[in-house]
Amino acid sequence: MNRSYLKQIGLTFTILFMAFSFFACTDTSGQSTQSPTATVSQTSPVEGEPTIEEPTILTWVCTSLNNDWSTKVAIHEVCKRANVELDITIKDVNVYNDFIVPLLASGSDLPDVVQMPNQDTDMNYINSGLFYDMTDLYEEHGENINKIFEEVPTLKKQLTTPEGRMFYFPSIVPAKENQQTLLLTQSYVDTLGISAPTTIDELYDMLILIREQDVNDNGDMTDEVPLFIRAGKLLPLSGFWGIDLVSGYTADDNGNLFYSYTSDRYRDFLTFFNDLYTNNLMNADFASAGFDIQNSLYSENRIGIMVQYMPLAPSQTLSFNPEWDRTTDDLLVVPLAPLKGQYSDPYYVSRSALGSSFAISAKSEKAEAAFKFMDFNMSEESYLTKWFYPDNYTLTDSGFVMAIDQKHYNDNHAEYGGNFKGIPDYEQFIPISYGKAYDALVPIIANGTRLPTILPTYMLADEIQTSKHYSSDLETYVEEMFMSFIIGRTSISDDWDDYLSTCEALHANDMLAVKQAIYDRMN
């Protein structure tokens, strides 16, 4: 990973900026937002020449959990550094599709840049002629994004049509460094006098012990939840059984795919979690449980282990000990490496690194400026501004970056709007330090994580037709049976053959052929 920029500014010289005010960015109400002033010291991103020579106003439509543009002052600073003002419309994620799909269907009055409602794998929007072909812009002005393509070559393949053209600009998520893992409550294993589990069998034995004892020492022998799972969180664990349930397909050593959901390994996976469910070793409401239930249980120290994104370990540690010092103290909530089972080389299955996609209107007169602004958001300067405004930061001995004088962890990222996903973003230029104990675990988890076998990408015409005819019914049935097998509504031992026959009748083999062709092109 290229850290030359950071090392230059953080380790070789001191640059002081005087207090400044941000470039005004205009929201849809017509009001201007001025950021507060700040003094930026030696280890803040060096502000070089503006990305775009002339001040440029870009019209922009996107979505966010928080649609208050005035609070996103870190993004205003990014705009300032790029010489851009955004005339921005932000719609809540819950209503975005209802807003953007009709707008795209009309094809009129589109802004310069649109955040897409989906990956457009069937190229429906591309073929409509709504959007600017960015292929040449990538070649001429993609200074930052092209460096990322060199590091993660699958991303460029995902964004390139079968004809070799590129119509969308990505946000990129840290697929491996921000992985969903098993998070262990350390006090539980300390109380039980055991070590953290390293195998599936050891996990099962630990869950039994938690169920049978008052591990949290509150006088109630029945209130502990040995394993807490929220909706959809089981799939990343499928790699413990050597299969990928995230994309639904797994490649053997020769590059031949099989449908994960009809494999013997999947049957073993279901049997294990049906056992946990039947014996009260996991929460019965796993299909519907949300953050509110999870946080309530955690506040009462009732969860032994759960599946959650790895960077939440420090914040959960703080919930147990508000005085926790990330620079010296061990984690109280610990991410676990993949658990070994009967299959070799266990792994977590991550999400795709390709996040949201952004398109430039074919009618935009500012296509080059729009592309340059999006590319600037792939730079280290933009990344560090989003994460650390208005504070200083430094490199740790292990090469992580952390804010100075922040004992616990960096929360400016959210407070100043740096986590805004309504513009392109690259979340993992330099790993963010969450403390010495946490940083040591990052490479272990990342090395034990694999991308999904099949990544979102464009399909050929015949593949699109096959998928349209068969994928929906097959996926719906498999999802229904996933739940039915685990909760015991359907017997794994008695009804497995009927399940396989139904999958075959729903054209699982036809879909396998489509996925094999996609896999072969991508690899």
Q: What is the pLDDT of residue 1?
A: 35
Q: How many helices (H) and strands (E) does the chain have?
A: 19, 17
Res. 37: pLDDT tops 80: no
Residues 77 and 109 in one domain: yes
Residues 199 and 273 in one domain: yes
Q: How many angstroms separate the CA atoms of 123 and 460, rounded?
A: 9
| Residue 363 confidence class, pLDDT cut points 50, 70, 90 | very high
Q: Mean pLDDT over residues 313-318, rounded?
A: 84
Within a domain: 48: yes
- Total Cβ atoms within 10 A of residue 439: 19
Res. 49: pLDDT tops 70: no
Tell which of 368, 401, 427 closes a domain.
427
Res. 196: pLDDT tops 80: yes
> In CATH, what number is assigned to the domain containing residue 407?
3.40.190.10
Q: Mean pLDDT over residues 96-108, rounded?
A: 94
Within a domain: 443: no
Q: What is the pLDDT of residue 403?
A: 58
Structural domain containing residue 472: 461-522
Within a domain: 453: no
Residues 74 and 185 in one domain: no
Residues 364 and 342 in one domain: no
Res. 6: pLDDT tops 60: no
Within a domain: 328: yes
Q: What is the pLDDT of residue 192?
A: 96
Q: How many angstroms separate the CA atoms of 138 and 127, rounded?
A: 20
| Residue 126 confidence class, pLDDT cut points 50, 70, 90 | very high
| Residue 316 confidence class, pLDDT cut points 50, 70, 90 | confident
Residues 130 and 156 in one domain: yes
Give the pLDDT confidence of 466-488 residue by residue, as tens digits. 999 999 999 999 999 999 999 99
Element (H, E) at 474: helix 461-487
Strands (E) in 93-197, as ranges, are 113-115, 169-172, 180-185
User: Comparing C-alpha atoms, which of 253, 273, 275, 250 is closest to residue 263?
Assistant: 250
Residues 97 and 226 in one domain: no
Residues 329 and 367 in one domain: no
Tell which of 427, 451, 476 closes a domain.
427
Residues 101 and 45 in one domain: yes
Residues 110 and 196 in one domain: no
Within a domain: 377: yes
Res. 221: pLDDT tops 60: yes
Within a domain: 452: no
Q: What is the pLDDT of residue 39?
A: 29
Residues 200 and 336 in one domain: yes
Q: Could you tell me the two tokens for 462? A: 């015949």
Q: How many angstroms separate the CA atoms of 356 and 119, rounded?
A: 7
Give the pLDDT confidence of 254-271 residue by residue, as tens digits. 999 999 999 999 999 999
| Residue 408 confidence class, pLDDT cut points 50, 70, 90 | very low
Q: Tell me phi and psi for residue 246, to 5 degrees.
A: -75, -55
Within a domain: 372: yes
Within a domain: 434: no
Residue % of the chain over a pLDDT of 90 = 62
Q: How many domains does the chain have?
A: 3
| Residue 404 confidence class, pLDDT cut points 50, 70, 90 | low
